[in-house]
Structure 1
Amino acid sequence: MLTEHAGHKLWGRKRHSMITLGLIVVAMQLVLPTQSQAQSPLAIPSAETSGSQKIQFDVASVKQNKSDDKPKSNFLLGPGDVYAPNGGLFSASSTPLIVYIAFAYKLTNNQLQFLRSGLPDWVSSDRFDIQARSEGSPTKDEMRLMMRSLLADRFKLTVHNETRQVPVLALLLSKPEKTGPRLRPHPNDSSCSTTLTPEPDRASNAAPSATAGGFPQTCGGPVLIPASAPARLNVGARNVNIGLIASALPDWGALGRPVMDRTGLSGTFDFTLEWTPETHHSIASAMDIPSDTSGPTFLEALKEQLGLKLEAQKGPVNFIVVDHIEHLSLN
């Protein structure tokens, strides 16, 4: 299920499969001097350099959808690694083109306007159905590369990177070398699958279940899990790095700036974060969350539960810039 970036209506709600928060997407990646490009959520091999041949779907159909149907897809299109078995099938409907671009380039959700600013309105407003198939069992990142090829073919999409110094929020530890009670190193001996399994008995509006420790059962990306009160949001993940968490914070907290990981924490972590969203937040309005002032604010929860804080700074951000895009060409 998909959610949209702050300032835009969420396309998804609590449904039977896991919900990736902050899917859409900002066209940027934080550039950390101490972090290699390969460790970034955006850093997957380009379709042009992965082997001797360009990776592409064996067959694909792309059609504009002018219905009022809600977007849906057969697996999560966010930057995380959570992935449902699909037998080489990519199936999505009534989905804005900007979502497909975000999926193809593994974009994180910081400031969507940096991608949108140079794009025609139809890229966000017009919706499309894509049905595509590849032989074998491609990984999620291989599916992304195939989507890049498809977008280049059908929409003539070309992009490049630009790095700029911009205002950011630095993610820091509140106390030196100490995390909060709900942010724990992922156990090395813990079995952890990124594969979603169908749960036919689950109610259609239910959030995914959690493990005995309160963390999501599936690893690889943030999802909604049951909260302690109707007016609160509870987000969790297992086996994710701090960079992925940082990239999602601007959308969850409506922060208005990208967040740069400067905690110094390495490895992967399990976490849950529960807070009461402000009533004007797009997440609260789209999911019909009732008003309640009894729970912690987003920043309070970040400090008390995860042991993290935010500090205004400037930093280098690598933007994805669209050079060229055209409306749908014929199949």
Structure 2
Amino acid sequence: MFFSCLLSQCVAQSTEGTLPNELRDFPVSIVKPNVRNDGRWRAQFVATGYTAMGVTLKQIIQDAYFVYDESRLEGLPKWASTEKLDLDARVDTEQLATFEKLSTEQKQLLLQRLLHQRFGLQAGFEKKAGRQYVLTIAKGGAKLKRSAQAVNESNEKGLWPSLRPGKMVASHVPMGEFARSLGLVLGRPTIDRTGLNDHFDIALEWQPDLDSAGETSGPSVFSALKDQLGLELRLDKAATDVLVVTAVEHPQSN
């Protein structure tokens, strides 16, 4: 998975009407097989569009629909999870200002439309029985620092300046976004039920090998949440949104 667009991601189930008329699609998209085969990869939204190198189609679909939990993606052929490709999707120069103002969900929608156009992707969400984590306040109360930033258009949904294995550092982030980003670490949908409505500055460190129960010298993410932030997770049964792929094909390289 990639962590470069974790400003406010959520499952992108938007409609075409959420995109501005002047930017309905990526006007330029270049898809090629990855021939380097050196293990290097990247996938992220950038100032000019979306770029990916050395990744599978599955990874791009996960970025477009925010479905990093393996149990929430069904129907892909084997090649979509094994064959590596490079993708460069760009907006025109006169569209740069418009693209910069798009929300993460709108950028994901552009990527979804590109997947339909270039890969013939047909997919939709279905409710299926599953499990999710619920984020709550631990006994003893929360240990959170309220953000001193004023809410404005640029920081309304928070910022993740650092998110890497074993560490999260966030500024001015609401609990809902923090819970969703925890879901990336845990590989399972995570929802907020703390009842906290403010924005917070958060720093969390744990032993990355203990993203599930285990023993090591450092704390698990579960222990770190409780000890450092006064929060805890519980596992609940829930109907979850599963992305079901019904059609996809190899693209023509260009």
Global fold match (TM > 0.5)? yes
Higher strand share: 2
Q: Distance in 1 between matches of 2:71 and 2:42?
A: 23
Q: Is the 8 A contact 2:71 2:242 kept in 1?
A: no
Which structure 1 segments of 5+ residues have no match?
Answer: 4-18, 23-38, 78-83, 195-218, 226-231, 283-291
**What is the DSSP-based 3-state SS (H/G/I as helix, E as strand, rest coil) of the residue aligned with 2:159?**
coil
* Contact 2:12 2:109 survives alignment (8 Å): no
Give the one of 48, 51, 64 matched to 2:33: 64
Are 1:186 and 2:147 counterparts? yes
Would you say 1:103 and 2:63 are equivalent positions?
A: yes
Q: State whether structure 2 residue 128 is matched by structure 1 residue 164.
A: yes
Identity %: 30
Letter in 2 for 1:156: G
The whole-number CA distance in structure 2 between the counterparts of 1:130 and 1:320 is 22
Question: Equivalent residues in 2 for 1:215-294 (5 A)?
Answer: 219-221=158-160, 223-224=162-163, 233-252=166-185, 254=186, 257-278=188-209, 293-294=216-217
Tell me if structure 1 keeps the 8 A contact 2:12–2:108: no
What are the Cα deviations for residues 20-70 of structure 1, in whole angstroms up to 9, with x where unaligned? 599xxxxxxxxxxxxxxxx97124633366356871112221112143131
Partner of 2:245: 322
2:51 to 73, 83, 91: 91
Structure 2 gap segments, 5+ residues each: none
Opposite residue 57 of structure 2, the aligned amino acid is L
Q: Is the 8 A contact 1:60 1:131 kept in 2?
A: yes
Within 5 Å, give how 1:186-225 maps onto structure 2.
186-189=147-150, 219-221=158-160, 223-224=162-163
In 2 relative to 1, CA 50–192 (structure 1 residues): closer, same or farther, beyond 3 Å?
closer
Distance 2:251 2:41 in 1: 18
Distance in structure 2 (CA, Å) of the matches to 1:94 and 1:143: 21
1:113 aligns with 2:94: no
Aligned-partner Cα distance in 1 for 2:22–2:123:
20
Query: How high is the TM-score relative to the length of structure 1?
Result: 0.62
Determine helix, strand or coil for the equivalent of 1:221.
Answer: strand
- Displacement of 1:184: 2.3
| Mapped partners of 1:134, 1:156: distance in 2 | 21
Question: Could you say if the C-alpha distance between residues 148 and 303 of structure 1 is closer, same or farther in structure 2, counting changes exceeding 3 Å?
Answer: same
Is the 1:47–1:149 contact (alpha carbons within 8 Å) kept by the matching residues of 2? no
Q: Provide closer, same or farther for how the CA distance between residues 20 and 303 of structure 1 changes in structure 2, counting only shifts above 3 A.
A: farther
Report what 1:133 is aligned to.
Answer: 90
1:121 aligned partner, one-letter code: K
The structure that is helix-richer by fraction is 2
Q: Alignment partner of 2:208: what SS?
A: coil
Q: Does 1:153 align with 2:95?
A: no
Name the CA shift for 1:293/1:90 in 2 (closer, same or farther; >3 Å). closer
Deviates more, 1:298-307 or 1:90-99: 90-99
Structure 1 outlier segments of 4+, above 4 Å: 19-22, 51-54, 190-194
8 Å CA contact 1:40, 1:243 repeated in 2 = no
Report the TM-score when normalising by structure 2: 0.78
- Corresponding residue number in structure 2 for 1:313: 236
How far apart, in 1, do the equivalents of 2:230 and 2:4 lie? 23
> Matches of 1:41 and 1:95 in 2, distance apart?
21
Could you say what secondary structure the match of 2:130 adopts?
strand
Shift in Å at residue 257 of structure 1? 4.2
